[in-house]
A = this chain, B = another copy of it.
Amino acid sequence: MHAEIIAIGTELTTGAKLDTNSQWLSLELAEVGIPVLFHSTVADGHDNMLSVFRIASRRADLVLITGGLGPTLDDLTRAVMADLAGVDLVLDEPSLDIIKSMFARRGREMPERNVIQAQFPRGSEVIANPRGTAPGIWMELTRDDGRVCRMAAMPGVPSEMRHMFFESVRPRLPGGRNVIQRARVNCFGIGESNAEEMLGDLTARDRDPEVGITAHEATITLRITAHGASADECQTKIAATKSDIIQKLGHYVFGEEDERLEDVVMQALADRGETVSVAESATAGLLALRLMQAGGAGSSFVGGVVSPTPQSKSTLLGIDESESSHGDPSGEIAKRMAEACRERFRTDYALAISDHPHDGEQQPDEVRATYIALATRSQTLVQGIVPVGDPAIQKSRLAKSLTNMLRLELRNHSESQPS
């Protein structure tokens, strides 16, 4: 069994819009083991659409169509499917009632032209669309060679299409009743290949659940995909894999799904009733921006300074200009920035980052670090970060390293709640 995916719409063939539905459906069909050999895109128009549908029904066993189900005159998918099967369009009263009630809920009367959305090729099945007015169509055609071609027409709006595929199309496919569930575990402070090594056979290709690794601006995400007969079965498998991952990667794991480092840290501070302030040079305000935008930031972020010049370090933090030169080899400036920041803002913690080392002054074999520091009630930690990889993501990577420094500190002292 193999499939073809057809996207309908002049907005696609003119290039006004990029079709992403076909790629998405290809990936979903691969999950249930159905290879896709063809994608076709055709402008709105009866004859060209009929020709494309006919070719597809002859060369593929499964044809998934997106678009052309709207209420306007150029929405022709219904009519073309009927012509392909050699049948007429018949009104489905229950679908009409649903469409009318959708309009009624918005306090509007259904325009007459929407009646067309309740019409279906005779002998086809209605696919419900809880997200919009256009129901989908499921149709099976017996070809001249005696084999059956299954066709499903879905709306072009990606959110409606995806929902309809999961709810009503995939369950009709061979193997499509199997449940697939996904989860993500996020890590920081470890490289992609190190993570892979530490995870060992957890990342083996034929494992169930499968664990994939992706990296984005130094954040490592482990993507877990579980297959099973039920959601419960999948969740049980995912939970076991998650605890294996946490056991192997320990403190590198900081969160799940969409959680970012700053979300986790600001939530932890809010829970503890503690506060933070920041002093930035190399990150130029990005750290303050991230901490203030974090979920649950509340009032834990007290304030920040952006001090890229000796003058600003002096004015804002009382650090002597003569000592605040570039290329500080020990992180002394970062340490003093953090301590001065914590003192001035009267916060529980302060994070600081020194200037970028000036490349011009550097010896060829010398790689200088940018220093980050964390001042707490009892001590000041300093760490040197040597720039690696894409310069475009250095600010982001440094801001994450600073946030992670505070995360590890909070994690190490999670029992000592402040009064």
Q: Which residue numbers of A lie inside 8 Å of B, CB to CB?
A: 7, 12-15, 17-20, 22-27, 30, 35-43, 45, 48, 51-52, 55, 59, 277-278, 280, 284-289, 292-293, 299, 301-309, 311-312, 315-316, 344-346, 395
Residues of B within 8 A of A15 (CB): 22-27, 30, 36
Closest to A28 in B: B15
Q: Which of B23, B45, B288, B311 contacts A302 (CB 8 A)?
A: B311
Q: Contact check, B12 vs A18: say whether CB atoms are below 8 A apart.
A: no
CA distance A22 to B20 in the complex (A): 12
Residues of B within 8 A of A303 (CB): 305-309, 311-312, 315-316
Can you list 25 A-B contacts with CB-CB less than 8 angstroms, sorted by A residue number?
Answer: A13-B36, A13-B37, A14-B26, A14-B27, A18-B20, A19-B23, A35-B43, A36-B43, A37-B45, A38-B41, A38-B48, A39-B40, A284-B292, A285-B285, A285-B286, A285-B288, A285-B289, A285-B306, A288-B306, A299-B309, A303-B306, A303-B307, A303-B316, A304-B306, A315-B344
Q: Contact check, A14 vs B35: say whether CB atoms are below 8 A apart.
A: yes
**Chain B proximity of A173: nearest CB distance (Å):** 16
Q: Contact check, A37 vs B26: say whether CB atoms are below 8 A apart.
A: no
Q: Contact check, B52 vs A43: say whether CB atoms are below 8 A apart.
A: no
Closest to A27 in B: B15
Q: Contact check, A52 vs B23: say whether CB atoms are below 8 A apart.
A: no
Provide the main secondary structure of the chain A interface: mixed
Q: Contact check, B14 vs A38: say whether CB atoms are below 8 A apart.
A: no
Closest to A45 in B: B37
Residues of B within 8 A of A311 (CB): 302-303, 345-346
**Chain B proximity of A306: nearest CB distance (Å):** 4
Closest to A303 in B: B312
Q: Contact check, A289 vs B284: say whether CB atoms are below 8 A apart.
A: yes
Q: Contact check, B302 vs A305: say whether CB atoms are below 8 A apart.
A: no
Closest to A313 in B: B303
Asked whether A18 and B23 contact (CB < 8 A) given A38-B43, A304-B305, the answer is: yes
Closest to A306 in B: B304
**Chain B proximity of A384: nearest CB distance (Å):** 22
**Chain B proximity of A38: nearest CB distance (Å):** 6
Residues of B within 8 A of A24 (CB): 15
**Chain B proximity of A356: nearest CB distance (Å):** 11
Tell me which of A7, A30, A35, A36 has the highest count of chain B C-beta atoms within 10 A of its own C-beta: A36
Residues of B within 8 A of A289 (CB): 284-286, 289, 395
CA distance A299 to B35 in the complex (A): 57
